[in-house]
Every structure is written in structure tokens, then in C-alpha cells.
Chain A
Amino acid sequence: MQHPFSLAGARILVTGASSGLGRATAIMASRMGASVVLSGRDQARLEETREQLDGAGHHAAAYDLRDTAGIPDWLQRLASLTGTFHGLAHAAGIQIVRPLRMLDECVLNEIMAVNVNTALALTKGFRQKGVGAGGGSIVLFSSVMGLTGQPGQAAYSASKGALISMCRSLALELARENIRINCVAPGLVETGMAARLKDSLSPAQYEAVAALHPLGLGRPENIAAPVVFLLSAAAAWITGTTLVIDGGYTAH
């Protein structure tokens, strides 16, 4: 019997795989036996991720997810090249800090397009004949900001909250196709994105956010392992939910 947490024999598409949580997820999935297809905008950085993967049969396929309308066709082309997918970890996203007084429609639309529209398009693409292997597991990367608030994060929170709520409806639609879909809601993890957040806050503000994580700030592998769990057969009866992985941030 295969270990329930194993991804042996599974092909997993990971977006945002050129850095941070996406890269860590790709590495962890490969360690659990998956063939991983890496997506991001920069082919060279995807190749850097690929060099860190265990095993063989991995692919790096650069694509700019901002071309949302093209995502289903891209997935068709990708699946015919790599083989069909058993799982999707959608880690790509952007965070823009804007207090309400500086938040215009242009910024709001950009955040929603990159964080929400791509998730819907990828899910739509995944369920197409010839893309999904029949059933499967999708993990969307939300955030604790989808569950709680911080000044300046209204647009980002809206986008991450949208993932959590749309995931429930999608789970109900996709259950009949044996596709599970869940979110993870990470707290603050030490990645390039967190470094940019740190730059946009005063030291006192950043330290206050860090202090709200009783187990300290996260490491990318702290998120990658639970994502791999949700992709695996061990999570076979889990769909439409959000796994909070935040070192205790939302326990306050």
C-alpha cells in the first residue's frame, strides 16, 4: 500500500514556483515523489527551482498568468506536453499595501486579477478533459489577511478572502468530478514577498506584526508540508476548507 502522504506517481502543477512558497512547495512535492511542473514568469528562475527538485521528470514552463483568458488553452498545451495533472498548487500572487486614501480602482483591479481571476481560470482549466488526470486536488494560496485585517491591506485582504469563499462553492461544483479544492492561509513567512512587506512598514509596525506570531515567523517549508498533505491521498475527505498555517497568529 502506498503511504497516504506520498505523491509518488502524481504530476503536480505549481504556480509561483520561481520563489518563496511556490518554490518550497515544488521542492517538498518532489521529495514526496511527485513529478512537478513549475510555472512562473521567468524561465531562468524556474530552472533554478528545478535544480533543487528531487527525482526526475520535472518541467519548467514559463507563463505570465496575467494573460488570464489564455490560461485554459495554455493548460491544454502543457498537459499534452507533460501528461495530465493530479494536482495544482496555486501559489502565485501579489501583495500591494495601500491605505484606503491611496487605493484606486487600478490597484484594486490588478490585485484582484492576479490573486483571484487567475485562481478561477486555473481551476477552470484544470477540470478540462485532457488536463486533469481524472479527479485531483487543487490548493489555493490565501492568507491570514483573508481572515483578519491590517491597515493598508484592504485590497489584498479582499482578494485573499475571495479565494476562501469561492473555494467553498467550487468544492461543491467539483466534488462530482472527484476534484478536491482547498485553501491554505499562511501567516507571515520569511520570503521575498515578506521582505517587500517589511520595507513598506516602519520597523515598529513590522515588529508588531512579527510579535503576533507566537511560534515566530514561518519558514517556507512550514507551508509547503501542509500543502503537500492537502495534495495527497491523506486529505481524500477534505474539500472546501481553509487550513490556517500561521504560527498562532489568528489564535489571538
Chain B
Amino acid sequence: MNHSEFLLQLDSVIEAAPGTLKGSEKLAGIAAWDSLAVLGFIAMVDEKFRLQLSGKDIVACESIADLAGLLGDRIKA
């Protein structure tokens, strides 16, 4: 998955129109980033990457870049 596709997945997780997220946002500034979005993000990563993230990892993230960082080189530039 490349970075653009990752952002589209995140749009879907927060139920925003495709193309809403640009990648530079802070999570605190995204109103739809709530506890259900966290569950949704974990589910998306499980389904698309077969990777089990923990809620603890995600709570430590402050930005979209941090979320992408959890996936390391699974996200291509």
C-alpha cells in the first residue's frame, strides 16, 4: 500500500470523503478521530496488513505521520 492509499483508508476509517486527509494533520485536530475510529484503525490494519496493533501503540500517536510510522515500510512512499 502506498501513502496515498493509506490516507484513503484513513478517510474511510473516520468516514470522511476520499481525499480529505492530506497526511500532515495532527490527530487532536480531527474531530472524527475518537475511540471508535481507533477501533476502526486497528481493524483496518488487521484486515489490510494482517498486523495486530495495540490500542496502547495508537494512543501514543499524535499525528497521521505517527500512525503511518506504526506500519513502517509496509507503506511505500
Cα A199 to Cα B46 in complex, Å, equals 12
B residues near A, CB below 8 A? 12-13, 15, 35-36, 38-40, 42-44, 47, 52-56, 58-59
* Nearest A residue (CB) for B58: A202
Interfacial chain B residues near A204, Cβ < 8 Å: 59
In terms of DSSP, what is the predominant structure of the interface of chain B? helix
Return the 10 tightest CB-CB contacts between A and B, nearest first.
Answer: A202-B55, A199-B54, A102-B43, A152-B39, A99-B36, A201-B55, A202-B59, A99-B39, A102-B40, A99-B40
Interfacial chain B residues near A206, Cβ < 8 Å: 55
Nearest CB in chain A: distance from B62 CB, A: 14
In terms of DSSP, what is the predominant structure of the interface of chain A? helix
Cβ < 8 Å to B, chain A residues 192-224: 196, 198-206
A residues near B, CB below 8 A? 97-99, 101-102, 151-152, 196, 198-206
Q: Are A200 and B40 in contact (CB under 8 A)?
A: no
Our pick among B43, B44, B53, B55 for the contact of A203 (Cβ within 8 Å) is B55
Interfacial chain A residues near B36, Cβ < 8 Å: 99, 101, 151-152
Interfacial chain A residues near B42, Cβ < 8 Å: 97, 200
Give the A-B contact count at a CB cut-off of 8 A: 53
Q: Are A101 and B40 in contact (CB under 8 A)?
A: yes
Given contact pairs A200-B54, A203-B55, A205-B55, a sample of 7 additional A-B residue pairs in the complex whose CB atoms are under 8 Å apart: A99-B43, A101-B36, A102-B39, A199-B56, A201-B39, A201-B55, A205-B35
Our pick among B38, B39, B55, B59 for the contact of A98 (Cβ within 8 Å) is B39
Cα A97 to Cα B38 in complex, Å, equals 11
Interfacial chain B residues near A151, Cβ < 8 Å: 35-36, 39
Q: Which of B13, B39, B40, B44 has the most CB of A within 10 A?
A: B39
* Nearest B residue (CB) for A152: B39
Nearest CB in chain A: distance from B57 CB, A: 9
Cα A204 to Cα B38 in complex, Å, equals 12
Q: Are A202 and B35 in contact (CB under 8 A)?
A: yes
Nearest CB in chain A: distance from B12 CB, A: 8
Q: Are A203 and B39 in contact (CB under 8 A)?
A: no
Interfacial chain A residues near B47, Cβ < 8 Å: 102
